[in-house]
A and B are shown apart, each in its own frame.
Chain A
Amino acid sequence: QVQLQESNPGLVKPSGTLSLTCAVSGGSISRSNWWSWVRQSPGKGLEWIGEIYHDGGTNYNPSLKSRVTMSVDKSKNEFSLRLTSVTAADTAVYYCVRSVVIGINEDINFFDPWGQGTLVIVSS
């Protein structure tokens, strides 16, 4: 079955750029799925950051859109997140997730599976 594994940047300095990569195994990233990033912090709970399709199409959370860029590398079967101008508020566990879409009208969607998550701390 599909498994996801985030890279581990660990510590990022304030005003810097957070970069994460998610390796997909057990299936092709080019199948008909969207691939998402979700983060979890004590202060804001679970927050969807955005998603990317294998053709490069993206949708971002408006609250983060000005700072987020996602990309996909089909040759490596992985997708990436870039978040600029980070502050302490961006400290969180970051998860990469498959966004599954099903149903006759393709109107049912959910997140499954999730990567194990990686803690990113923004600190000088």
Chain B
Amino acid sequence: DIQMTQSPSSLSASVGDRVTISCRASQSINNYLNWYQQKPGKAPNLLIYAASRLQSGVPSRFSGSASGTEFTLTISSLQPEDFATYYCQQSHSAPPTFGGGTKVEIK
């Protein structure tokens, strides 16, 4: 299975901050990488697919980028509703696998 490693596992930030979350794949996955946001007690929600394509309805402050096996989710200006846990997921090879998550907390 392809291993997905996220960093950091948690971070503290303030409203208005620029936040970056990293995800590294254990092997090449081209750009078959998705990002999800999960709030407590809720299901994950798709933010970005194919590394950089914004899902319909997702605010433009969210963006994704890729460089080799390294992927980044950026929140340009953190909003109160963005405090949540974020997961990456590769869809290149079966079985699809997820990163361990990055919890974004209020500083």
Contacts and interface: CB of A to CB of B under 8 A. Distances in A.
A109 B91 contact: yes
B94 A108 contact: no
Interface residues of B, number: 22
Interface stretch (B16-24, B45-53, B66-74): B45-53
Contact of A110 (B42, B43, B46, B95): B46
A117 B43 contact: yes
A114 B94 CA distance: 19
B64 interface: no
A56 B87 CA distance: 30
Contacts, number: 51
Report the interface size class on chain A. Answer: 20 to 34
B95 A111 contact: no
Contacts of B96: 48, 111
Contact of B46 (A59, A95, A103, A111): A111
B100 A111 contact: no
B43 A112 contact: no
Contacts of A15: none
Contacts of A103: 50
B53 to A, nearest CB: 8
7 contacts: A45-B100, A46-B89, A47-B98, A95-B44, A103-B50, A111-B34, A116-B42
Interface of A: 45-48, 59, 61-63, 95, 103, 107-117
